[in-house]
Structure 1
Amino acid sequence: MATQSKAHLDAQYGKLTSIAEEAGVSLSTVSKVVHRRRDVSPSTRDRIEELLSRHGYVRPWDREATTARQVVAVFRDLSGPYTLEVVRGIVEAAGLMGVNVVTGTTSARPIAHWLKESVALGALGLIVVISMLTEEDQRHIVEDKLPVVLVDPLSTPSLEIPCIGVTNWSGAKDAVHHLLELGHTRIGMIAGRSHSPAGSARLHGYRAALEEAGIAFDPAIVRSTDFDYDEARHAAVHVLRLPDRPTALFAASDSQAMGVLEAARQCGLSVPQDLAVMSFDDSLVAAMACPPLSAVRQPFEELGHEATRILLQLAQGRPPASMRIELATQLMLRSSTAPPRAAS
């Protein structure tokens, strides 16, 4: 990507768009011919090949025979522990499949830009991780049949776009059950935003576990934030300074859990003696925290492998067996959780 200027990428995309219009076909049909897929009629293929030649379009892999196939993976940012784990999973899985990964973020460039860039680069498709897609983005993906796979999107996507996540609801429920089994009855949560499918599912799993235990939901000890350290720290300080503070807090992500640990320190509370802390993610920072975090483990390597596998399948014109895939989570118990003092 460093060797191709933005002007060149725009020109390549413009050529493909013009060819699609001139041939009277969709951009996705042109993309199929570019990638030499077989699910295009001979007459349409010949017409598009002639236009590709006339417009001077050169396939990236024809330009440099040693260039490997590539996919584009786009993230909201590259700063959080979850993001870094998913990047690693995608890159490692792609490497095993002989595919290079171009990474980018939506912090400065919107999804619409990356959809365009993916086509201009001649990439096999796009993996979008923890990002918000507009209705226009989704319409573009569906109508042009662009190979796109979503991982933990921040908004509910169209059912026609493949989406991969984990068992957020049951994983959260298992986490709260563990705290209940330790003897905690006053359990708060630093939840994700309600518009996030993953954040919403984890909150509902938390509430389901309390309901099964006959414990009333108390909104005073539940705060919603982004999956962010600073926001979670501020929210946790507020909750921990309540007169009837919780004896345990369940954080919806490792970043939030790290914020909870710092909030406990600021409030003069010891973890786990004064406050049990449970997390969700189990990225590398969970085991390195002080104390090490009990957490719901997401299978990051498998997430990356599935996202890459399904994207390559889409690029070959084969739809996945299911448009919604949930991978199983696992409870990892460490020293951040213990019975409340009264139950010791």
Structure 2
Amino acid sequence: MADRAKERRDTQYGLLTAIAGEAGVSLGTVSKVVHRRRDVGEATRARIEALLERHGYVRPWEGDRQAPRQILAVFRDLSGPYTLEITRGIVEAAGDMGVEVIVGTTSKRSISGWLEECVEAGARGVIIVISMLTEQDQHRIVEQGLPVVLVDPLSAPSPNIPSIGVTNRNGARMAVRHLLDLGHTRIGMVAGRSHSPAGAARLHGYRAALTEAGIAYDPAIVRATDFDFGEALTATRQILRDREPPTAVFAASDAQALGVLEAARQHGVAVPGELSVISFDDTLVAAMACPPLTAVRQPFQRLGHEAMRVLMRLADGRAPASPRIELATELVLRTSTAPRNAAQA
């Protein structure tokens, strides 16, 4: 089957290359017409469409009208609660639109490999979640007009590739303001990596809230980790050993917040009596934590719907209204935060 797929791909590639030569344009321009991108002149489009028809080219997704429409959803891994929530949002949205979702990861296949799979399988497009695109990947997406939408990319994408996320800075600012309103002034943070736009924005929101309250930023009680339980556990141990440990900690994700809770347990620090903990995400695990986590909620279902909406718009040859979409967050109060007690004053 793999041999047949490769043979079909090579045949299609050879035909499109021949059409590009006959039309006197680049292969990328032919690809844009195949994917019905709008950024091709009408005369050029008409010439290429005529050649496609003359040579009997059939777009993969139009070859079998009874075949279900498909998209690819590619993740760095499938291990965290965030991934589960985003997957559910995409699958539910796709179901509403009559689209099937093929889910994969970059652990065994690179982004470029998934882009190739999109073309080979005749999928409508690809949603790439929390992954790093190489310059070569970005160049191919833009040049060939591949329908691709990024959700929380790990690096700032080309402005020509649409991305979707949430109001990370404002959400983080809201979290820290909640702690400030409870009387906490010594607030630590387990932040995301600086190369991640989401991680950087959440750290900026944390710092902005402190500045507005007239509180100096203290790097001694801030640690940057992946959005990961184990790294957050180690980081929080270091924060709690500071000569003036914080009375509250803001974690940049639920997975990190669980690491904060475990570090507090190991140090014999009561939550929320001695340490208030607030997280960002509000995945299913937030409400099941002990104690249940106060959290900044991401609208995962809406994220899935927006990613699907923008992707299908691209697949139909229409440009998105904006290269970047940010959805609003909200604060969900539970029992992991409490007013600073008298002994901490």
Q: For residue 49 of structure 1, report the CA deviation from its aligned partner.
A: 3.4
**Aligned counterparts of 2:280 and 2:291: Cα–Cα separation in 1:** 15
- 2:14 corresponds to which of 11, 18, 33: 18
Q: Are the aligned partners of 1:171 and 1:330 in contact in 2 as well (CA < 8 Å)? A: yes
* 1:61-140 correspondence runs (5 A): 62-63=63-64, 65-140=65-140
Letter in 1 for 2:173: K
Q: Which residue of 2 aligns with 1:266?
A: 266
- 2:45 corresponds to which of 41, 47, 64: 41
Q: Are the aligned partners of 1:19 and 1:30 in contact in 2 as well (CA < 8 Å)? A: no
Q: For residue 31 of structure 1, report the CA deviation from its aligned partner.
A: 6.7
Structure 1 residues 12, 30: CA separation in 2 closer, same or farther (over 3 Å shift)? farther
Q: Are the aligned partners of 1:34 and 1:59 in contact in 2 as well (CA < 8 Å)? A: no
Q: For residue 305 of structure 1, report the CA deviation from its aligned partner.
A: 0.2
Could you say what secondary structure the match of 2:63 adopts?
Answer: helix
Q: For residue 18 of structure 1, report the CA deviation from its aligned partner.
A: 1.9
Q: Which residue of 1 aligns with 2:328?
A: 328
Structure 1 residues 7, 330: CA separation in 2 closer, same or farther (over 3 Å shift)? farther
Q: For residue 27 of structure 1, report the CA deviation from its aligned partner.
A: 4.7
Q: Are the aligned partners of 1:293 and 1:336 in contact in 2 as well (CA < 8 Å)? A: yes
| Aligned-pair Cα RMSD in Å | 2.1
**TM-score, normalised relative to structure 1:** 0.92
Could you say what secondary structure the match of 1:41 adopts?
Answer: helix
Structure 1 residues 51, 30: CA separation in 2 closer, same or farther (over 3 Å shift)? farther
Letter in 2 for 1:11: E
Instruction: Map Cα deviations across residues 215-238 of structure 1 (whole Å, 9 max, x no partner).
Output: 000001000000011111111111
Letter in 1 for 2:261: L
Structure 1 residues 177, 305: CA separation in 2 closer, same or farther (over 3 Å shift)? same
How many percent identity over aligned positions?
60
Q: For residue 66 of structure 1, report the CA deviation from its aligned partner.
A: 3.3
Q: For residue 42 of structure 1, report the CA deviation from its aligned partner.
A: 3.9
Letter in 1 for 2:17: E
Letter in 2 for 1:16: Q
* 1:52-67 correspondence runs (5 A): 52=56, 59=60, 62-63=63-64, 65-67=65-67
**TM-score, normalised relative to structure 2:** 0.92
Q: Which residue of 2 aligns with 1:205?
A: 205
Instruction: Map Cα deviations across residues 35-85 of structure 1 (whole Å, 9 max, x no partner).
Output: 8999773432231234455xxx7835535x532101111011111001110
Q: For residue 12 of structure 1, report the CA deviation from its aligned partner.
A: 3.4
Q: Which residue of 2 aligns with 1:193?
A: 193
* Farther-moved stretch of structure 1 (18-27 vs 115-124): 18-27
Aligned length: 336
Letter in 2 for 1:218: D
Could you say what secondary structure the match of 2:104 adopts?
Answer: strand
Unaligned segments of structure 2, at least 5 residues: 21-25
Could you say what secondary structure the match of 1:326 adopts?
Answer: strand
Q: Are the aligned partners of 1:16 and 1:27 in contact in 2 as well (CA < 8 Å)? A: no
Q: For residue 15 of structure 1, report the CA deviation from its aligned partner.
A: 2.8
Q: For residue 10 of structure 1, report the CA deviation from its aligned partner.
A: 3.3
| 2:317 is aligned with 1:313 | no
* 1:270-289 correspondence runs (5 A): 270-289=270-289
Q: For residue 161 of structure 1, report the CA deviation from its aligned partner.
A: 0.5
Letter in 1 for 2:81: P
Unaligned segments of structure 1, at least 5 residues: none
**Aligned counterparts of 1:188 and 1:99: Cα–Cα separation in 2:** 44
